[in-house]
Chains A and B, each alone.
Chain A
C-alpha cells in the first residue's frame, strides 16, 4: 500500500512540474525553484510532514521535500537557540542530499568523460 501511494503522490508532484513547464512555458530551472519554494511553504504550514507520513518516498524523493527539509532544519534549531538557529540550522536536515550530490558529482567529473 505504501508503494501505491508513493507512486501516486510522487507521480502527481512530477505531473504538476510538467504542467508548470508546458502550460506556463517556463524553464526547468524556474519550475524546480517554484517547486522548492512550494515545498518550503507547505513545510512552514506543517502540511508537508503529514504528506510524508502518508506517501513515504512519494513525498521525500521529489525536490519539494528539499524545501520542506530546509524549513524543518531551521525551525528545529531556532526552537533550541532562538533566531540565530535559523541560520545555523537551515542545512541541518539537507546535509545528506547536498553533500552526497557535491561529492559524487566531483568524483564523476574525475572518472567520466563528457558524452556528446
Chain B
C-alpha cells in the first residue's frame, strides 16, 4: 500500500518533469504586443460606438458609456454564438479577455455550452461559472472601499 503510493508519487513527479520539458514557452513579448493591439482596437471600436450614440442620440459623454457597453456585449455574444469569438480569443489573449466583450463571452459561452444540461440546471446555474469571480471580487472590493470612504467622510 505504502509502496504503491510512493510509486504513484514518483510517477507523478516524473510526469511533471516530462510535461515541463515539453511545455511550450510562452512568447511573452509577442503575446503582449497582440494583447496591446487587439485590446486597443476593441477600445477604439468602443469609442466609435460611443461617438455614434453621442451624435445620433441624445447621450452625453457621461451617459453614452452604458449603451456603448451594452452594444459591445451584444456584439460579443453574437460572435460567441457563431463560434467566432473563441478563435479571436485564442489569437488575442488578454486583448479579447480584458475588454467587457471578454466578460460577455465567458457568460455566453457557458450559457450555450451547458444548455444540454437544461435551461435551469445547465444555462441558469453555469452562466456565471467564469464571470462570477469578477462580480464577487468587484462587489466585495467596492463595498470595502465605499465603506472606508463613507466612514472617513463622516
Give the interface of A toward B (CB within 8 A): 2-3, 6-15, 17-23, 28-33, 35-37, 39-41, 43-44, 52, 56-58, 60-67, 70-71, 73-75, 78, 82-83, 86-87, 90-91, 93, 96-98, 100-102, 104-106, 108-115
Contacts and interface: CB of A to CB of B under 8 A. Distances in A.
B31 A111 contact: no
Nearest to B129: A29
Given A31-B97, A63-B103, A83 B147 contact: yes
A18 B31 contact: yes
Interface secondary structure of B, over-half rule: helix
Number of contact residues on B: which range applies? 35 or more
Interface of B: 26, 28, 31-32, 34-44, 46-51, 61, 65-70, 72-74, 77-78, 80-83, 86, 93-95, 97-104, 107-108, 110-116, 119, 123, 127, 130-131, 133-139, 141-143, 145-150
Contacts of B41: 7, 11
A112 B147 contact: no
Interface secondary structure of A, over-half rule: helix
A57 B35 contact: no
